[in-house]
Structure 1
Amino acid sequence: MAGHTCAPPGIAYDDRHMKRSSATPKEITHERIVETAARAIRRSGYHGTSVADIMKEAGLTHGGFYAHFASREAMLAEAADRAGAEAVDASLRIAAEAPPEQAFQWLAAAYLSDEHLQNPEQGCPIAALGSEMPRQAPEVRRAATRRIKEMIDVFARQSPDWGQPGAHDRALVAVSTMVGALLLARAVDEPKLSEALRGAVLKHVAPAGD
């Protein structure tokens, strides 16, 4: 995409920026379920994600679910935590690859990029699931809230005015604006409007000259 919604070359919310590890066979299986669920909730929403579908997508039998989780809500809490952790990890890697003075611009460009727009299952769970959160179980909301705070902190610390009075509040506004822009850009059925929404917000929160 031309204009301000392109991420820097090679930078996007995708599998290249996700870090995963596993150990014992049971942990490997547990990891597979959580990883599958983390993608599924961002793709289909909490209410559109069933235990049966998760287990099938993970290549496992439905009956094995309760060997790993006490309830569907417990699985969703871990999935929310994993989705948030992946987004935080992606942001940290993007910031580490950027020239220090351009870290915030790179983060904003990646967040508002075509890649992120088109791949919600690999991206930020705030934009993908935020409207559903008030109706989730307390443990799901708790996990999501912790990761949301971490994501805001990553953006805040890359802000050019970090450490100055009001810097954290300005980061809150910037993140809230970017989340809203991405949500709207995914909601509309006009590509030009989707691009305009993201481009306008990027110019506002991370001007190219800063």
Structure 2
Amino acid sequence: MGRVSQAQAQENRQRVVATASRMFREKGTTVSVADLMKAAGLTHGGFYKQFASKEDLVDEAIAHAFAEQAAHSAMTFEESAGERDAARRALIEDYLSLWHRDHPADGCPVSGFAADLGREPEQTARAQDVYVNGVRNRAARLATGDDDGMAQLCTMVGALVLARATRGNPISEELLQAARTALDENTKPEPH
């Protein structure tokens, strides 16, 4: 079999990163290199031509997930005709939806990578800057007035993680609704 061109090698690398980003959010970073490469439609041996280690791929997959999220958030803001409050409400509704609960591979990297980064100190040290910046950016999209958005983000991520853990039980939907209600009540304008 002949060598692949640089352009093909770059395309393969991007496919592996995108596949890893989705699989890691859905199944965790314990996904094997062999399973990952199979899902990307490439050989296991090709992995080591593209990446120095699985940890390097995890770093890139996290960065890729946050870049995807930022692009999606920008589209949501544009679709809300630049109205920050409407974009914020849309973000909350989308985040706390049954679809988001049921599709972690396409979901938020804050919730998707939190457990793995919490369990793997070596990976956390490597990926922490990207992850922390992603958390701060997501919180900033929720910020209102004097509120920096951190507590709102914590409510959303916590509710989503709990809803995923209880999927199949009525409490799952109750958790999502409770978070939507709490966020709605905490951000109503103050009467004058």
The whole-number CA distance in structure 1 between the counterparts of 2:182 and 2:80 is 20
The one of 123, 136, 143 equivalent to 1:152 is 136
The one of 160, 184, 191 equivalent to 1:206 is 184
Question: Deviation per CA, 1:78-111, whole angstroms, max 9, x where unpaired?
Answer: 1121122222222222122124031111111111
Q: How does 1:59-78 map to 2 (within 5 A)?
A: 59-78=41-60
Q: How does 1:158-177 map to 2 (within 5 A)?
A: 158-161=142-145, 164=146, 167-168=147-148, 171-177=149-155
Pairwise CA RMSD: 2.3
The whole-number CA distance in structure 1 between the counterparts of 2:160 and 2:80 is 22
Within the alignment, does 1:121 sit opposite 2:105 as a pair?
A: yes
- Provide structure 1 residue ranges, at least 5 long, that are not aligned to the other structure: 1-22
Distance 1:142 1:71, change over 3 A: closer
The one of 66, 85, 108 equivalent to 1:84 is 66
Q: SS at the partner of 1:110?
A: helix
- Provide structure 2 residue ranges, at least 5 long, that are not aligned to the other structure: 1-5
Q: How many residues align?
A: 181
Question: Deviation per CA, 1:28-60, whole angstroms, max 9, x where unpaired?
Answer: 11100101111110111011x111111111111
The whole-number CA distance in structure 2 between the counterparts of 1:160 and 1:179 is 18
Distance 1:55 1:178, change over 3 A: same
Give the match for residue 195 of structure 1. Answer: 173
The one of 137, 158, 164 equivalent to 1:186 is 164
Give the TM-score, by structure 2 length.
0.83
Distance 1:157 1:65, change over 3 A: closer
Larger of the two Rg values belongs to structure: 2
Task: Name the structure where helix makes up a greater proportion of residues.
Answer: 2
